[in-house]
Amino acid sequence: MTTSATLDVRESAPRYRHQTIFDLFSMEPGQTARLVNDHDPVQLSYQLDAERPDQFRWEYPASGPERWVVEITSRDLAFDARPILAAGEEPFAAGVDAAAMVGDDEIFVVYAPLEPIPPEAVLGERGFRHRVDQTNEETWRVTFRRS
């Protein structure tokens, strides 16, 4: 486990806490951020899971009543096909190669301007199951994990 940062938000104004914490979550797979808070940040875990499903593992080394410590580990390897497609190039081979780097406890997330059906089929044959979400009119998110 590699800790990328420790963030103590106990002295931060509550209205700034979530954004401060979200700014922390650009971690590589396997990196861990340590969050110190004055209460259980369970609402934050719900928000993260709604916006980035299954991408983080939460562990509580300390659980209150006045000091909560949460170690949040990134489990996702992200591949953004949108800029590749916008440049007029084909992202298929690069995406499949990136998926090969995914470990057993990690997930592979593809962002694309349309549902990436060919990679879903190929990665399915390679032992991945997937979940598809259209996050807005211009972005599809497909989360792959090994079966």
Closest listed residue to residue 54, CA positions, set 101, 16, 115, 107? 107
pLDDT value at residue 49: 85
Hey, what CATH topology would domain 76-146 get? Translation Initiation Factor IF3 (3.30.110)
If pLDDT is split at 50, 70 and 90, which confidence band does 22 have?
A: confident
> Is the CATH number 1.20.140.90 carried by domain 2-74?
no
Structure tokens at 74: 């990134």
Per CATH, 2-74 and 76-146 having the same topology is answered yes
pLDDT value at residue 62: 95
Comparing 25 with 136, the larger pLDDT belongs to 136
State the Cα–Cα distance between residues 105 and 85, nearest whole angstrom. 29
Domain ranges of the chain: 2-74, 76-146
If pLDDT is split at 50, 70 and 90, which confidence band does 143 have?
A: very high
Structure pTM?
A: 0.70
Average pLDDT over residues 114-129: 92
What tens digit of pLDDT does each residue of 25-76 get? 667 777 888 999 999 999 888 988 888 888 888 999 999 899 999 999 888 8
Q: Is the dihedral of CA 41, 6, 64, 14 positive or negative?
A: negative
pLDDT value at residue 1: 53
pLDDT value at residue 7: 87
Comparing 111 with 31, the larger pLDDT belongs to 111
